[in-house]
Amino acid sequence: MTGLRAAGARLRSMLSLATAVAASAVLASCTVQRLDERAIAPELALNTAHITEGTTRWRMTIQKDTATRELGVMTSSTQYADYMGRPAILFVRAVPTPKGDVVDSVLVLRHTLAPVWEHSHQPTKTMLLSFTDSAVIGEWAPADSTMRSVHHPVPRPVFNATAQGLLIGSLPLAEGYRTLIPIYSFELGGMELDTLSVVGTARVKMRSGGERDVWKLAFADPFITATFWVDRETRRVLLQDIVSRKTGVIFRQEPVL
């Protein structure tokens, strides 16, 4: 329990920092922000009622060939927030790495999951991004370097990949379901259309005991393929395997309950 309390205290500190850092950027971007209550992709028919406040710790492993190695514990948190009088969600994720923690903070509108901004503080770079209907703007800097401007046009409003777990659980999953998701990619400098399909159902054993009925989803983008197991009742992602297209390395994440 001591470890859990420490993780919670640490994440609360990160949330406070994320909120404070974001305030100036949000005020600066209000004049160009064009997000409204329209859905980014109405055809997806999102339902976000299942999203609650809370903190989750994720056990991370990496598998290459037949060897599996522990990577540590990632912490993620969702917190209700407000953006210009509209319900929003602040999502914060802290990932330990050998060079230091990667801390990503994302603000999205609660009902549509439209991204407002993302701040990413990493050992190798810092990113401060703001989302509009026609572009992602902001600035970024490699470690120990000066800030550089970001202006990535997008042909339509896009989702943010960092908050992908919130999005996946909000889709109208059913047997045979398949869709294309418009997601912003910093690496590609714009929008990518990612494929997500329900490929079956399963009953999985939990590390904490018991079993859960899940949807099994297949996901693909230009850099990875992934499999997600989503609880059919709670809509929480219970397990995910992410495979690098370049190396074949498998990254696994599962909640520590």
Residue range 162-211, pLDDT digits in tens? 999 999 999 999 999 999 999 998 888 889 999 999 999 999 887 777 88
Q: What percent of the chain has pLDDT over 90?
A: 68
Q: Residues 114, 120, 126, 131: what is their CA dihedral angle, to the nearest 10 degrees? A: 0
What is the value of pTM for the model shown? 0.84
Domain hosting residue 168, numbered range: 2-255
Instruction: Report the domain count for the chain.
Output: 1
Cα dihedral 138/245/97/16 (nearest 10): 40
SS3 147: coil
Q: 100, 108, 120, 130: which is closest to 29 by C-alpha? A: 130
Strand 159-160 with 178-185, pairing: parallel
